[in-house]
Chain A
Amino acid sequence: MPALPLHEAGKYVAGAYVVVFALVLIYVTIMAVRLSRIERDLGELLEQAERPSESEAPAEDLARPGAMV
């Protein structure tokens, strides 16, 4: 089969390389979304850790002067 002229072959070559880059781009985008979800979850966890826990609240109430009375 004779070689395709450049203008004809060019679109196939461009198509093949674009497919590879698109695949990588899609993959990286999905990974970026997952990483941002991890970051958000980590932020929530950090917020929870900084907030005093619910179980500590009654203890504080008990420690308040007059609470035992």
Chain B
Amino acid sequence: MYGRGLRPLSLATAAAWTLALGLVFFYAPLEAEQGFLQKIFYVHVPLAIVSLCGFVLGGVLAIQYLRTRDARWDLRSYVAIHMSLIFGVGALITGSIWAKGSWGHWWVWSEPTLVSFLIVFLLYATYQPLRFSIEDPERQSRYAAVFAIVAGAFVPLNFAAVRMSTAYLHPRVLGDTSNLPAPMALTFAVSLLAMALLWATLCKYEMTAKHARMQLKALRRRRSGELQGAGRFGF
């Protein structure tokens, strides 16, 4: 069920990444101030954007779960948040590398964008411990959905708060892409698309694996039920 379309999606992701890397290293011009170091922008910013969008999407899928009580929406919400956490780790590490090259420090606590992203990341880092500390599956899904919705609403609020803050040390991306030269804007758009496709592919990959595991468990339960039933009948 979840595996349908995985192959074309994987191929599209591979093609988009090949194109993105080609554009980053052979087409996009060097930025005047940062030079070659600015190439990190094409991987760090898409990672952060896709991660934050994934968190919000996790909240939207959780709403759908609470509306329908269909476990598939819970699975989708869980996988979206799980994958966004992994992408968040990538965004934090690449951001630190960029900060070190650009500012000479691995981390700058006075920079609101960095700190706000860390806060969002740490908030979502509590999602899995919260979820798996509850044994009852129904309650687990319900509590996780409420968490995903509340935290998902916090992400755009946090983003808006940072935008309204006075410090503008960190490069602005959304809304300022029109200021980028056309080749840079195109490269950034393709990189963002490639990252979003990678996120979608890995989510689908994980959902397929989890669904296969659940089916296997159901089959095993049915099999053991049959054996017990047959045993009872036999005796």
Contacts and interface: CB of A to CB of B under 8 A. Distances in A.
Interface of A: 1, 3-6, 8-10, 12-13, 15-17, 19-20, 23-24, 27, 31, 34-35, 38, 41-42, 45, 48-49, 53-56, 58-59
A42 B218 CA distance: 12
B103 A12 contact: no
A23 B90 contact: yes
B35 A13 contact: no
B144 interface: no
Interface of B: 30-37, 39-40, 43-44, 47, 86, 89-90, 93-94, 97-98, 100-103, 198, 202, 205-206, 209, 212-213, 216, 219-220, 223, 227, 230-231, 233-234
7 closest A-B pairs (Cβ-Cβ)? A3-B35, A12-B101, A55-B230, A9-B37, A9-B36, A16-B94, A55-B234
B37 A12 contact: yes
A16 B36 contact: no
B234 A59 contact: yes
Given A19-B94, A20-B47, A38-B213, A13 B227 contact: no
A17 B43 contact: yes
Contact of A58 (B30, B33, B97, B234): B234
A56 B230 contact: yes
Given A19-B94, A56-B230, A27 B202 contact: yes
Interface of chain A, main secondary structure = helix
21 contacts: A3-B32, A3-B33, A3-B36, A9-B35, A12-B40, A13-B37, A16-B40, A16-B97, A20-B90, A20-B94, A27-B86, A27-B202, A31-B209, A45-B223, A48-B223, A53-B230, A55-B227, A55-B230, A55-B234, A56-B230, A58-B234
B142 to A, nearest CB: 26
Contacts of B43: 16-17, 20
B100 A12 contact: yes
Contacts of B97: 12, 15-16, 19
Contact of B209 (A4, A34, A48, A49): A34
A33 B15 CA distance: 26
A41 to B, nearest CB: 6
B44 A13 contact: no
A10 B97 CA distance: 12
A49 to B, nearest CB: 7
